Amino acid sequence: MKEFLFIIRGEDEPGTASPAEMQQHLEHWQQWLGELIQTGHFVAGHQLATEGKTVISTTTITDRPLAEGKELIAGYLILRATNAAAAAGLAQACPSLRYGCTIEVREIRHLESE
């Protein structure tokens, strides 16, 4: 199995959802992650804070990521799958997609030590 990085872009809150809708969204995430863990696909993942630093050069650092709104990286997952198509299929079940988030799926290339 190969490892894939899921870069989750979009707002870190599901917009104007009610507290009950937000709770349901959280429960859907827990269910989805539970299934990924049980099937051996889950490796790691975290939600990211919206605040951050962007290093542009050896002399320039900004106080936040350059991207805003739907381009802001909300979090990431590392999952195992046989190929990119299978990894993308796993991503399609992400509960945040219905809130306008997108997921970029990238294969992780492990560096070989000499």
- Please report whether residue 32 resides in a domain: yes
Task: Say which CATH number the domain at 98 has.
Answer: 3.30.70.1060
- Report how far residue 44's alpha carbon sits from residue 86's, in angstroms, rounded to the nearest whole number: 18
Ranges of beta strands (E only) in 1-114 are 2-9, 42-47, 54-55, 61-62, 73-81, 102-107
Asked whether residue 78 is assigned to any structural domain, the reply reads yes
For residue 80, tell me if it sits in a domain. Answer: yes
Domain that holds residue 17: 2-107
Q: How far is CA 111 from CA 84, 87, 108, 114, in A?
A: 19, 21, 9, 9
Whether residue 112 lies inside any domain: the answer is no
pLDDT by position in tens, the chain (length 114): 999 999 999 865 555 778 898 899 899 999 999 999 999 999 999 998 878 888 889 998 888 765 555 678 889 999 999 999 999 999 999 999 988 899 999 999 988 765
Domain count for the chain: 1
Indicate the length of the chain as a whole number: 114
Q: Residue 114 domain-assigned? A: no
Q: Residue 69 — left, alpha, or beta (φ > 0 → left; ψ -120 to 50 → alpha)? A: left
